């Protein structure tokens, strides 16, 4: 045994020994204690424990890494996740960093530390700061990170291996009959055609996500259907990379989250007619934008500095859904905000909602939920609904999206009875 004594320390005894493993430079690998011990006997006992762990294959190299640093390293390994998922994981890290567990050395974090962090997060529910679903996401991320740390030998065992997650919340979506969807579309077509009509139409009658609608390119949609291949979203640059305008993110067509999200959605004839009319409308808007720019540049009175002038039509990605004045792209957050404000301020919409108070909290995503329920109401199988929505689990679709409407079950019995009528004549 090799015990080292360091003067003027409260815990002056350290151990150091050779493992017998020869390194590339010809020397032998040594193990050093990263903490001191009060007595020589304690240091010798710790050395024996380390040697026994090496013999059994359970020894973990000492590290000064904190739990917070481990969480960041774990997130850095997730190279194929969507930008929105990365933002969600980073938010979970930020929530955990508010608890002392984040500053604790990784190899000293124990079950009680993790449990105390869990209680801390639960306390945020009472203050209204975090929801139970957010806490579930945070703790699930923490469990996965500790499991990863154990897999890569940063720790021997995960202190979160027995952590209990909050139960999954019940589906929050609003599912409304197609008659209500059509009435809302009639209102929006008159009152907010430019910004809301296309997203509500494609969410309510094709089941597309808002980010998918923002990313539809004109060459990917026809009377045969919509080829769903991208999301349009804002993606953060790599650390240290700054754009010329000083921002640290850029809008781009990003890959979809799962393989099942890549799909071709057939389009109803009336929907295609509405989309075709919108495309023609955009074509006219594009001509007007260029005409307006031409007049501006040729105005003898007004001098324009062309160096700082943005393009008259900015739809370089050939998107379907853009601002009609300049072709600039829409993003999900903007569209959702427009929908919320429209519900609160448009008189016609307010009158409709007064008759249907159950729809006052209806989100844009609920048009997609309603699409699933209306398909089921018409007798479409859950498997087909699952594929149209881009899910990979039909049970999830049944439980969350394809919920029965008020008369769905009655329609099923009526259909069954109609099929039995001839047989019932002879039976009765």
Question: Rounded distance, CA 126 to CA 152, Å?
Answer: 37
Using CB atoms within 10 Å of the CB of residue 13, give its burial: 0 to 12 exposed, 13 to 18 middle, 19+ buried: buried
Tokens of 280: 């023609």
Question: Rounded distance, CA 84 to CA 231, Å?
Answer: 10
The pLDDT value recorded for residue 131 is 85
The pLDDT value recorded for residue 1 is 55
Question: Rounded distance, CA 427 to CA 59, Å?
Answer: 78
Q: Note if the pTM is more than 0.85.
A: no
Question: pLDDT digits over 142-194, tens only?
Answer: 999 999 998 887 887 899 988 988 887 776 789 999 999 999 999 999 999 99
Question: Rounded distance, CA 194 to CA 238, Å?
Answer: 34
Question: Rounded distance, CA 47 to CA 34, Å?
Answer: 12
Low-confidence ranges of the chain (pLDDT < 50): none
Tally of helices (H runs) and strands (E runs) in the chain: 15, 8
Q: Are 336 and 210 in contact (CB under 8 A)?
A: yes
CA angle 194, 197, 201 (to 5 degrees): 155
As a whole number of angstroms, the longest Cα–Cα distance in the chain is 105
The pLDDT value recorded for residue 307 is 61
The pLDDT value recorded for residue 249 is 76
Question: Rounded distance, CA 90 to CA 69, Å?
Answer: 12
Question: pLDDT digits over 334-361, tens only?
Answer: 999 999 999 999 999 999 999 999 999 9
What percent of the chain is helix, strand and coil (3-state, nearest 5)?
A: 55, 10, 35
CA distances from 106 to 73, 150, 325 (A): 12, 11, 54
């Amino acid at each position: 045994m090799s015990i080292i004594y360091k003067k003027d320390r409260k815990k002056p005894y350290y151990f150091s020994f050779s493992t017998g493993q020869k390194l590339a430079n010809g020397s032998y690998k040594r193990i050093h204690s990263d903490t001191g011990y009060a007595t020589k006997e304690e240091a010798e006992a710790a050395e024996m424990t380390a040697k026994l762990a090496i013999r059994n294959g359970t020894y973990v190299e000492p590290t000064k890494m904190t739990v917070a640093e481990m969480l960041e390293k774990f997130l850095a390994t997730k190279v194929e996740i969507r930008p929105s998922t990365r933002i969600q994981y980073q938010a979970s890290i930020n929530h955990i960093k508010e608890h002392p567990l984040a500053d604790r050395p990784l190899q000293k974090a124990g079950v009680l530390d993790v449990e105390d962090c869990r209680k801390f997060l639960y306390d945020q529910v009472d203050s209204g700061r975090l929801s139970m679903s957010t806490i579930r996401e945070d703790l699930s991320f923490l469990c996965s990170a500790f499991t990863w740390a154990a897999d890569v030998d940063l720790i021997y065992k995960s202190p979160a291996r027995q952590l209990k997650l909050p139960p999954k919340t019940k589906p929050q979506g609003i599912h409304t009959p197609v008659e209500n969807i059509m009435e809302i579309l009639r209102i929006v077509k008159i009152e907010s055609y430019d910004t809301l009509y296309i997203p509500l139409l494609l969410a309510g009658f094709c089941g597309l996500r808002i980010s998918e609608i923002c990313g539809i390119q004109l060459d990917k949609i026809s009377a045969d259907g919509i080829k769903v291949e991208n999301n349009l979203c804002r993606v953060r640059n790599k650390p240290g990379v700054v754009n010329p305008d000083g921002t640290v993110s850029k809008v781009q067509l990003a890959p979809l989250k799962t393989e099942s999200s890549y799909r071709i959605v057939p389009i109803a004839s009336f929907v295609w007619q509405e989309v075709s009319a919108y495309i023609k409308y955009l074509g006219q808007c594009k001509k007007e934008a260029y005409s307006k720019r031409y007049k501006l540049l040729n105005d003898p009175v007004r001098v324009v500095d062309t160096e700082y002038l943005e393009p008259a039509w900015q739809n370089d990605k050939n998107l379907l859904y853009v601002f009609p004045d300049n072709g600039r792209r829409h993003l999900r957050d903007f569209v959702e905000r427009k929908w919320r404000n429209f519900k609160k301020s448009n008189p016609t919409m307010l009158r409709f909602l007064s008759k249907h108070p159950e729809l006052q909290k209806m989100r844009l995503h609920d048009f997609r939920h309603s699409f699933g329920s209306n398909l089921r109401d018409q007798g479409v199988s859950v498997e087909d609904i699952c594929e149209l929505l881009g899910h990979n689990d039909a049970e999830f679709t049944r439980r969350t999206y394809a919920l029965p409407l008020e008369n769905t079950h009655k329609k099923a019995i009526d259909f069954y009875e109609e099929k039995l009528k001839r047989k019932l004549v002879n039976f009765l």
